[in-house]
Amino acid sequence: MLFDLGQTLIHFNKVNAMAVFHEAATNSYDYLKELDQPVGSLKAYKWRNFLSIRVKLLISDLMKRDWDSLVGLRKSHEKKGIRLSAEQWRQLNWKWYEPLSRRGSIEPDLAETLGLLRDKGLKLGIVSNTWVNGCSLEKHIDKYGLLHFFDVKVYSYDYPFRKPDKRLFIEAAKQVNVACANILFVGDRVDNDIRGAIRAGMLPVLKTTPENKRKTLPPTATRIDKLSELPQLIEKVNTDNT
């Protein structure tokens, strides 16, 4: 079973993007100041990074591929004379992501649900369209005590394509060593998750959110309200296929 990450495993309530940006920029700036790095003024630091992110997002939308935040962060900061160790670069990446992570939540029984799925012998994985480096995403997942449940993590920034391109789904299937026809893919977006899973030959499951509850599903897709419904759904799928 493969999962989308944002709004599927981890739900983010309505987020004020600019508030998150200012908090993240301030935190990362303070971190660099503590390390005696040449960051200049806070105002200039914020504007420089705001413009850099906006340009990268625009290019990403045009090219239909994501970039690696850790690589981009290092390149842009090294141009300004900032020199850090590998661990410090990862910590800086987390400083940028951490304010958003605090606005995330999970279903209270999610660990129990994932445990039940693992007990049924299922391999679990994550397939996410993201430009946030995995070092920060996995730190966030681990804060909920969930990271050990997932055999593979496939992030779009590692590839020249992203969902709904079926190649990302097929790559994840290869990594869990399970045929696409035997994989349930659980996501929150009809355009990226459901249609992409169908193109790859997987069984699509839509997790209901306020944004998608009125969306029309393809006939082969199933809708659930909570991830805790998945163990029962697996039983039904197995029964129907026997």
Residue 83 and residue 137 in one domain: no
For residue 75, count CB atoms less than 10 angstroms from its CB and return exposed for 0-12, middle for 13-18, buried for 19 or more.
exposed
Taking each helix axis as running N to C, give the angle between helix 17-34 and helix 86-101, from 0 to 180 degrees, rounded to the nearest 10: 150
Q: Give yes or no: residues 166 and 91 share one domain.
A: no
Same domain for 114 and 91: no
pLDDT tens column, 17-71: 999 999 999 999 999 999 999 999 999 999 999 999 999 999 999 999 999 999 9
Output the CA–CA distances (angstroms, integers) from residue 34 to 23, 30, 74, 126, in the order listed. Answer: 17, 6, 18, 35
Please state, for a pLDDT cut of 90, what percent of the chain lies above it. 95
Does 153 share its domain with 227?
yes
Of the pLDDT bands very low, low, confident and very high (cuts 50, 70, 90), residue 238 is confident
| Whether the predicted pLDDT of 116 surpasses 90 | yes
> How does pLDDT run across 122-156, given as a tens digit for each residue?
999 999 999 999 999 999 999 999 999 999 999 99
Q: Are residues 130 and 221 in the same domain?
A: yes
64 and 176 housed in the same domain:
no
Q: Is residue 47 within 8 Å of 90, Cβ to Cβ?
A: no
Which pLDDT belongs to residue 57?
A: 95
Tell me the two tokens of residue 47. 């504007």
**pLDDT confidence bin for 239, thresholds 50/70/90:** confident
| Other beta carbons less than 10 A from residue 172's beta carbon | 22
Residue pLDDT, tens place only, 33-42: 999 999 999 9
Instruction: Tell which of 60, 85, 101 closes a domain.
Output: 101
Q: In the prediction, which pLDDT does 240 show? A: 82
- Pick from 178, 142, 138: nearest CA to 154: 138
Number of separate domains in the chain: 2
Do 83 and 182 lie in a common domain? Answer: no
Which of 73, 101, 129 marks a domain boundary? 101
Asked if 129 and 162 count as a contact pair (C-beta separation under 8 A), the reply is yes
Clarify whether residues 81 and 119 are in a common domain.
no
CATH number of 132's domain: 3.40.50.1000
pTM score, whole prediction? 0.96
The pLDDT, as a whole number, for residue 56 is 95
The residue type of 107 is E
- pLDDT single digits (tens) 181-213: 999 999 999 999 999 999 999 999 999 999 999
Residues 34 and 95 in one domain: yes
Let me know the angle formed at the C-alpha of 122 by 118 and 127, rounded to the nearest 5 degrees. 100
Q: How far is Cα 31 from Cα 29, in angstroms, rounded to an integer?
A: 5
Quick one: 168 and 184 in the same domain? yes
Model confidence at 242: pLDDT above 70 = no
How many CB atoms are closer than 10 A to CB 105?
12
136-159 as b/e, with b when 16 or more CB fall inside 10 Å? bbbbbbeeeebeebbbbbbbbbee
My answer on whether 180 and 60 are in the same domain is no
Q: What integer best gives the mean pLDDT of the chain?
A: 96
Q: Of 71, 101, 131, which marks where a domain is finished?
A: 101
CB 189 within 8 A of CB 4: yes
Domain that holds residue 28: 17-101
The percent of residues above 70 in pLDDT, for the chain, comes to 100
Mean pLDDT on 166-180: 97
